[in-house]
Amino acid sequence: MSATRLPGTPRLLRALNDRAALELLLERGPLTRARLGELTGLSKVTASQLVERLEERGLVTRVGEQAGGRGPNAQLYAVRPGSAHVVGVDVGADRVVAACADITGAVNGRVEQSTRDTDDPVGVVHNAVVQAARSAGAELSTVRRVVLGTPGLVDPATGDITFAFNLPRWHRGLLAALREDLRIPVVFENDVNLAAVAEAQSGAAGGVPDFVLVWVGAGVGLAIVLGGRLHHGSTGAAGEIGYLPVPGVPIPRDVSRRAKPAFQQLAGADAVLAVAREHGFPAPDAAAAVRAAIDAGTAGGPMLDELARRLALGVASTCVVLDPPLVVLAGEVGQAGGAALAERVQHEVAAITLVRPRVVVTGLTEEPILRGALRTALDAVRDEVFGSTVG
Domain harbouring 45, CATH code: 1.10.10.10
Residue 5 lies in a domain: no
Which of 49, 79, 109 terminates a domain? The answer is 79
pLDDT tens per residue across span 151-177: 888 999 999 988 776 676 677 788 999
66 and 93 co-located in one domain: no
Residue 254 lies in a domain: yes
Q: Which domain holds residue 40?
A: 10-79
pLDDT above 90 (res 13)? no
* Sign of the CA dihedral running 316, 321, 323, 328: negative
pLDDT above 50 (res 8)? no
Residue 200 lies in a domain: no
142 and 276 co-located in one domain: no
The predicted structure's pLDDT at residue 185 = 96
Task: Answer whether the bond into residue 30 is a cis peptide, omega within 30°.
Answer: yes
pLDDT above 90 covers a percentage of the chain that reads 70
pLDDT band at 386 (very low <50, low <70, confident <90, very high): confident
210 and 337 co-located in one domain: yes
> Other CB atoms closer than 10 Å to residue 259's CB: what's the count?
14
Determine the Cα–Cα distance for residues 368 and 347; give it in Å rounded to an integer. 26
254 and 355 co-located in one domain: yes
61 and 131 co-located in one domain: no
pLDDT tens per residue across span 255-272: 665 678 999 999 999 999
Residue 199 lies in a domain: no
339 and 379 co-located in one domain: no
Name the pTM for this structure. Answer: 0.91
Residue 320 lies in a domain: yes
Q: Among residues 167, 165, 169, which one has the least CA distance to residue 221?
A: 165
pLDDT tens per residue across span 173-213: 889 999 999 999 999 999 999 999 999 999 999 999 999 99
Query: Which region among 41-50, 103-112, 204-213 has the lowest average model confidence (pLDDT)?
Result: 41-50
Which of 62, 79, 96 terminates a domain? The answer is 79
154 and 271 co-located in one domain: no
The predicted structure's pLDDT at residue 242 = 93
107 and 130 co-located in one domain: yes
Write out the DSSP string of 65-106. Answer: EE--SSSSPEEEEEE-GGG-EEEEEEE-SSEEEEEEEETT--
The predicted structure's pLDDT at residue 168 = 62
pLDDT above 70 covers a percentage of the chain that reads 93
Query: Which region among 89-93, 104-108, 229-233, 255-259 has the lowest average model confidence (pLDDT)?
Result: 255-259
State the Cα angle at 96 between 95 and 101, rounded to 5°: 155
38 and 91 co-located in one domain: no
Residue 327 lies in a domain: yes
Most confident of 54-63, 256-265, 351-360: 351-360
Query: For the chain, how many residues are written?
Result: 391
pLDDT above 60 (res 313)? yes
316 and 217 co-located in one domain: yes
The predicted structure's pLDDT at residue 388 = 62
The predicted structure's pLDDT at residue 7 = 42
271 and 378 co-located in one domain: no
The predicted structure's pLDDT at residue 3 = 39
Which of 30, 60, 79 terminates a domain? The answer is 79
116 and 244 co-located in one domain: no
User: What is the total count of domains within the chain?
Assistant: 3
Domain harbouring 134, CATH code: 3.30.420.40
| pLDDT mean over 277-285 | 96
